[in-house]
Amino acid sequence: MKYIIDMIDDIRENIQNSKEYTLVAMLLKENTSENFQNAGEKVISSLFIDHDTKQLQLGFADENDTTKELLELVDSLQMQAMMYELVVKISNEHPLMPVIGFGENHEEKQYIFFLTA
């Protein structure tokens, strides 16, 4: 489980706060050898802060959010919100999935949120 503060540190360290990266959710599944493999990925296109559940929900609405919008949203938060959990909302029919890690693809300018099923 990752928190907003973890993401802020990772973005600063690994992509130097670039505002040009596409946000991507990558689902990882464990194979029989207990190794994780990519089971699919999708561009994240919406961001929602839920103060009641203390979560930053990443989703797939018809918006066009990038690291620019993500950093602007996070910059507007008060300090206690830095400990909100990062989750991905695939759809209203699926449970929220916690983010377990981060990555980046500099060639394709992607900032990646890793999830497990």
Domain with 47 in it? 4-30+38-116
Q: Chunked in runs of 10, what are the mean pLDDT values of the chain (117 residues)?
A: 96 96 92 85 91 94 81 91 94 87 97 92
Structure confidence at residue 12 (pLDDT): 95
Structure confidence at residue 108 (pLDDT): 96
- Give the integer Cα–Cα distance in Å for 43 and 13: 22
**What predicted TM-score, i.e. pTM, was given to this entire model?**
0.89
Structure confidence at residue 96 (pLDDT): 92
Q: Domain count of the chain?
A: 1
Structure confidence at residue 35 (pLDDT): 87
Q: Where are the beta strands (DSSP E) in the chain?
A: 22-30, 36-43, 46-50, 55-59, 85-88, 97-98, 101-105, 110-116
Nearest Cα to 66, choosing from 81, 45, 40?
45
